[in-house]
Amino acid sequence: MNAYDISLIAPCGMNCGICMAYLRDKNKCPGCRGCDADKPKTRIICKIKNCRNFHKGKIRYCFECKKFPCDNLKHLDKRYRTRYHMSMMENLEHIKESGIRKFVKQEKVRWACPVCKGIICVHTGHCHSCRKKIIRIEKSRKK
């Protein structure tokens, strides 16, 4: 599978191709737009992924929704901005402005390991190929 596939961009703007669950070898997640059957539980219960607007096929991305940005998306975005220095809302802005193809191209550059051109995992900050630490990820703060 191509890690920079258009179908790997989730409705919320998340690039599933750089997700820990997608990159791992065991119990690999096919991405939020993939089949539910072989998906880890956390993805199945995602409120955004299960939003009925997607299931009715009305919209493909959150910004097309009347409720955009809803609380679910805002919470997710805040969590990712704080912990992983990545913003779903920013991604969605890019997709809205330049289109999905251009966004995916930008993602390819953004998450390429400077050492081996492998994929940098957004959750661990490590390159998936050479395992080099690229991004410093903040430790989760207990509330």
Which residues are near Zn ion by CB under 5 A? 113, 115-116, 118, 127, 129-130
Nearer to Zn ion, 69 or 125 (CB): 125
The distance of closest approach from Cβ of residue 120 to Zn ion in the complex, given in angstroms and rounded to an integer, is 8
Nearer to Zn ion, 72 or 129 (CB): 129
Nearer to Zn ion, 50 or 129 (CB): 129
| Whole-angstrom distance, CA of residue 143 vs CA of residue 128 | 30
- Prior bond of 69 cis (ω within 30°): yes
Tell me, what DSSP letter sits at residue 39?
S
User: Crossing angle of helices 71-84/88-98, nearest 10°?
Assistant: 110
The distance of closest approach from Cβ of residue 59 to Zn ion in the complex, given in angstroms and rounded to an integer, is 36
DSSP-based three-state secondary structure for 43:
helix
The distance of closest approach from Cβ of residue 133 to Zn ion in the complex, given in angstroms and rounded to an integer, is 10
